[in-house]
Copies of this chain bind each other. A is one copy, B any other.
Amino acid sequence: VSTIHVIGAAGFAGAQLAALVNDHPYFELGQITSRTEAGKYLVDVTPEYRVGRQLTELDLGAIASDDFAAVCYPHAEAVAVVAPLIDSGVRVVDVSADHRLRDPAAYPVHYDFEHPRPDLLQMAVYGLPELYRDAIVDAQLVANPGCYPETALLGLLPICRDISEVVIDAKSGVSGAGRTPSSVVHYSNVTDSIWPYKVFAHRHQPEIAQELGQDLIFTPHLLPVDRGLMCSSYARVDREAIPDQATLDARYSDFYEDHPFVEPVVSPPTMRAVQRTNFAQVCPLLSPDGERVAVFSVLDNLMKGAAGQALQNFNLMAGRPETEGLL
């Protein structure tokens, strides 16, 4: 048995992760910390998870070097906790954005802070098992993907070398915006509407570009949905490489053959099919003239897009079955 500490467990992703670890047959839930809710029971913060454990202040000294830790802090704040953990030998999944971009110069540009530990960016493995599973197994520091990049990449990776003119129109549930109240997440502003935001300016764009290996247009929209994320991705396709729908389908079935959480489907998926699961569904469709592809990818932003993905990574890091505690 190994212990996973969840640092920042009162937020949506942290609470979901604490619940998953709590029910896991192998892992044991260690500290569940919160800077603002310490003292409360997690079940009172998020009754649906039934985790009767008390949130505490973080006690870094009580984390053993052979423990695991997940850091669910906002960007620019996570690194200050990740750094000492890594330095003391703890294996970490950073759920924040602080170690996703390889280029230190990208942090001032996209995240408004100078990264204090560029060495950690070198060390970090991008936590997408469908791309980097072997490296995750041995990693000390895993940078859990952003929910938008995770969804977009699962949709496009199988064909990323054969497409161009990529446009990703993304639609996210409100839980992706986090638990902090604001007018943006006020029910009366969200319900019965849809809102495109941070057009040409969202921080997940460079993350997608880094892993996709090409530039792209990315536009997020806020949906009147609680949990769920869909990317509708459009691109020109290399007709020689992918001459027909059967070839396109084969690309996806081959690519995801050994990846239990990604389900290629033949009809456009709905969020319903993946909500509250760690599954993603991807549906690639070739246009009748064979010039374009549309790919629809969906997942639950708190599961495969955050906490479930983190647990999948912990499973790999600990040598456990990849799906343990996630089916």
Residues of A within 8 A of B (CB): 12, 47-48, 50, 165, 167, 169, 171, 173-175, 179, 181-183, 185-197, 199-200, 217, 219, 221, 223-228, 230, 232, 234, 236, 268-277, 279, 285, 287-288, 292, 294, 296
Establish whether residues A189 and B272, one from each chain, have CB atoms under 8 Å apart when the complex forms: yes
Establish whether residues A200 and B271, one from each chain, have CB atoms under 8 Å apart when the complex forms: no
Given contacts A189-B272, A194-B230, A200-B285, 18 further A-B contacts (CB under 8 A): A47-B269, A48-B272, A48-B275, A167-B234, A171-B171, A174-B186, A179-B188, A181-B183, A187-B191, A191-B191, A192-B227, A192-B275, A193-B228, A193-B275, A196-B230, A200-B287, A234-B234, A276-B276
What are the 10 tightest A-B residue pairs by CB atom distance, in nearest-first order? A47-B273, A181-B181, A169-B169, A196-B268, A174-B187, A193-B271, A187-B190, A195-B270, A193-B272, A167-B234
CB distance from A3 to the nearest CB of B (A): 22
In this complex, the member of A181, A275, A287 whose beta carbon has the largest number of chain B beta carbons within 10 angstroms is A181
Q: Given known contacts A221-B232, A223-B224, is B276 in contact with A196 (CB within 8 Å)?
A: no
Establish whether residues B225 and A192, one from each chain, have CB atoms under 8 Å apart when the complex forms: yes
Q: How far is the CA of A196 from the CA of B185 in the complex (A)?
A: 21
Can you list 23 A-B contacts (CB < 8 A)?
A47-B270, A167-B167, A167-B234, A169-B232, A173-B188, A174-B186, A179-B188, A185-B186, A187-B190, A187-B191, A192-B226, A193-B228, A193-B270, A193-B272, A193-B275, A194-B225, A194-B228, A194-B271, A199-B294, A200-B285, A200-B288, A217-B287, A234-B234
